[in-house]
Amino acid sequence: MSKANTRSMLPEGSLKQKNIIVTGGGSGLGKSMSQYFLHLGANVVITSRNHEKLETAAQELNKQEKDGKCIAISCDVRNYDDVVKMYENAKQQLGSIDILMNNAAGNFISPTERLSSNAFDTIIDIVLKGSKNCTLAVGKDWIKEQEKDKSILNIVTTYASTGSGYVVPSASAKAGVLAMTRSLAVEWAKYGIRQNAIAPGPFPTKGAWDRLLPGELKEKFDLARKVPLKRVGEHQELANLAAYLVSDFSGYINGEVITIDGGEWLKGAGQFNMLEEIPQEMWDMLEEMIKSKK
Ligand code: HXC
Ligand code: NAP
């Protein structure tokens, strides 16, 4: 099993004077990435629906990280007016916003034919419409104010590219977010706005595991076993990548989606990767069998 390096990758102060909005920043990966942004000197607005959860998270983060300030502003990303209000409030408190990270998501496993129309819409609304709402509200203002050196980072999934059964609303919505990332990377580059995405593999969080691996499924489908590196991701590994992609160090990276999954999706894709299961000692016999057929 490979060993994770969970040290801080960027120099102290790398995000100083950057003001960042992180949707879904009060829990899971959003919270971990927010913590690292604060550690690097950024001010971070964490936003989601549950205000109490956000306030608790902001208090915790402000206690742990002294270099930047964390502010909790609640908002439902499905509602454009709510998003605009959250953005105006964030600007009022911080002056301006430099970076938007679309991280909020909704998801659960289900055979697609069991889904109500509203269930499908709920996921599309949080993931695709929510990312669109935040991108449009923030992007329009940046363009109007002629502000430069702005950046949007979208958190997608590896199945945004491959598709996946049993999470079809999420796969459809994340594919839309990826298309938006690549499209606006070109269209809005002239305004000094970069767009990139990260496609994480399995990074354990309560939000994802409760909905994707409920009950015994956690043991039955140990996700680490699907990964060639034989382990799940550490939050700091993702935070290091996210911090790099929103920082000025990645100023020439635009329209990219970076996969961080230990090789998981490629293992599923490669036609003969199942040969992993063949024990080393069988290969002499197999080689002989193949050669004998000449
Ligand atoms: C079928 C379901 C369902 C389920 C909800 N619904 N759960 N249908 N199977 N398990 C249906 C409901 O019956 C309802 O339809 C509709 O979906 C909306 O449900 P609500 O509970 O009213 O919605 P809401 O309160 O808005 O909550 C949204 C949610 C919830 C998505 C259902 O789970 C949530 O708040 N999630 C946020 C956090 C999250 O999902 N995190 C995981 C991200 S992981 P009807 O027709 O009855 O009205 C991820 C990728 C991970 O994104 C990849 C890992 C490798
Ligand atoms: P999580 O903790 O459940 O995060 C989802 C966040 O979205 C929550 O903070 C939730 O907060 C917020 N949210 C949901 N609906 C919202 C809405 N309508 N408006 C505003 N905020 C909303 O799960 P996570 O694992 O950290 O996921 C974070 C991101 O990583 C997601 O984009 C997910 O798709 C992606 N991802 C995760 C994994 C993984 O292995 N964990 C793998 C690939 C991709 P509220 O409930 O307070 O609104």
- Counting from 1 in the atom list of ligand 2, the atom nearest the Cα of 78 is 18
Number of domains in the chain: 1
CATH number at residue 179: 3.40.50.720
Q: How many CB atoms lie within 10 A of CB 100?
A: 28
201/204 Cα distance (integer angstroms): 10
In this predicted structure, what is the pLDDT of residue 179?
A: 98
Alpha helices by DSSP H, listed for 9-129, are 28-39, 51-64, 80-94, 117-124
Q: Which helix (H) or strand (E) holds 81?
A: helix 80-94
Nearest to 90 by CA among 155, 25, 16: 25
- Considering only 17-21, 23-27, 111-115, 216-220, which range has the smallest mean pLDDT? 216-220
Q: How confident is the model at residue 128 (pLDDT cuts 50, 70, 90)?
A: very high
Among 21, 23, 29, say which to mutate for ligand 2: greatest number of ligand atoms within 8 Å of CB: 29
Distance CA 29, CA 156 (A): 12
Comparing C-alpha atoms, which of 97, 94, 156 is closest to residue 131? 156
At residue 222, does pLDDT exceed 80? yes
Q: Contact, 106 vs 127, CB < 8 A? A: yes
Residue 82: domain span = 4-293
pLDDT computed for residue 253 by the predictor: 98
Q: What integer pLDDT is reported at residue 294 of this predicted model?
A: 77
Question: Which ligand places an atom closest to the C-alpha of 106?
Answer: 1
pLDDT above 90 as % of the chain: 98
Task: Give per-residue pLDDT as tens, 140-155.
Answer: 999 999 988 999 999 9
- pLDDT confidence band for 1 (50 / 70 / 90): confident
pLDDT tens, position by position, 73-98: 999 999 999 999 999 999 999 999 99
Residue type at 11 in one-letter notation: P
**pLDDT tens string 159-181:** 999 999 999 999 999 999 999 99
Q: What is the pLDDT of residue 132?
A: 99
Mean pLDDT of 244-259: 98
pLDDT at 2 over 90: no
As a whole number, the mean pLDDT across the chain is 97
Q: Which residues line ligand 1 (CB under 6 A)?
A: 105-108, 110, 115-116, 118-119, 122, 157, 170, 202, 207-208, 211-212
Which strands make up the sheet holding 193-200, listed edge to edge?
A: 70-72, 43-47, 19-23, 99-102, 150-155, 193-200, 257-260
What's the CA gap between 37 and 33, in Å, rounded? Answer: 6
The average pLDDT across 200-217 equals 96
User: How many CB atoms sit inside 10 A of residue 233's CB?
Assistant: 23
Res 46 pLDDT > 80: yes
Pocket of ligand 2 (CB under 6 A): 23-24, 26-30, 48-50, 53, 76-78, 103-106, 126, 130, 155, 157, 200, 202-203, 205, 207-208
Establish whether 87 is a catalytic residue: no
